[in-house]
């Protein structure tokens, strides 16, 4: 089945007012419906346009709408769903945008441990802050302009390299800051879990089961 047949026909941007009207006690089924509808509409809007400015606005969604708005719509969605996968991609980009120095350092430390995943992630050798920002933007652009499964796999590979880097950081801290090392180890585990979730979402997309 081609992408156009799989996409809904209701393009829409996220509506901050709609997000504000989603209280925590909202019926879970309705919250899930809103999450799926907005995610599918957003992806359709990006994939049905050839306007690079529209894609750029979608990539910068968190910067324009706010992380709280996006979280209100998607953060409760399971990872094996389209809104859940998009939420993880946007959170990853936001981390890279806010702390590119740390991300670049972790990536440089982890790349030797997982060279295959480095190749999939497509990051420049010895990346600096701007390099990792460029990759994070390219991954989200790929959701709207390329093969969505490839974008998810690329993000998963990126997370795997970062997880390896965080694990090395934890080892270095173990003797001087055990609590910091424990937090770093937890962070590495969370990154690895996110990588697995994104890779699984890619498999579901290819099977036409990521809704």
Give the number of domains in the chain.
Answer: 1
- Separation of first and last alpha carbons in the chain: 14
CB atoms < 10 A from the CB of 156, how many?
Answer: 25
Residues 61-96 have pLDDT tens digits of 999 999 999 999 999 999 999 999 999 999 999 999
Q: Which domain holds residue 103?
A: 3-206
pLDDT digits (tens, 9 = 90+) for 107-159: 999 998 888 888 888 898 889 999 999 999 999 999 999 999 999 999 999 99
Does residue 211 fall inside a structural domain? no
193, part of any domain? yes
- Is 106 contained in some domain? yes
Q: Are 189 and 170 in contact (CB under 8 A)?
A: no
26 in a structural domain = yes
pTM for the whole structure: 0.85
CA contacts within 13 A on the Cβ side of 20:
5
């Amino acid at each position: 089945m081609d992408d156009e047949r799989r996409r809904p026909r209701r393009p829409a941007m996220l509506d901050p007012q709609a997000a504000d009207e989603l209280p925590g006690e909202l019926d879970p089924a309705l919250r899930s419906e809103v999450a799926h509808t907005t995610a599918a509409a957003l992806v359709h809007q990006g994939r049905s346009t050839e306007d690079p400015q529209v894609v750029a606005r979608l990539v910068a969604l968190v910067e324009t709408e706010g992380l709280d708005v996006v979280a209100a719509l998607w953060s409760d969605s399971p990872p094996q769903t389209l809104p859940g996968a998009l939420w993880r991609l946007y959170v990853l980009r936001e981390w890279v945008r806010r702390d590119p120095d740390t991300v670049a350092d972790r990536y440089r430390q982890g790349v030797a441990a997982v060279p295959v995943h480095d190749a999939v992630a497509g990051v420049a050798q010895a990346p600096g802050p701007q390099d990792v920002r460029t990759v994070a933007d390219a991954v989200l652009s790929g959701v709207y302009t390329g093969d969505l499964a490839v974008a998810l796999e690329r993000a998963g590979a990126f997370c795997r390299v970062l997880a390896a880097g965080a694990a090395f950081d934890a080892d270095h801290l173990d003797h001087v800051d055990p609590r910091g090392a424990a937090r770093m180890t937890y962070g590495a585990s969370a990154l690895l879990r996110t990588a697995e979730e994104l890779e699984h979402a890619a498999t579901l997309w290819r099977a036409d089961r990521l809704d």
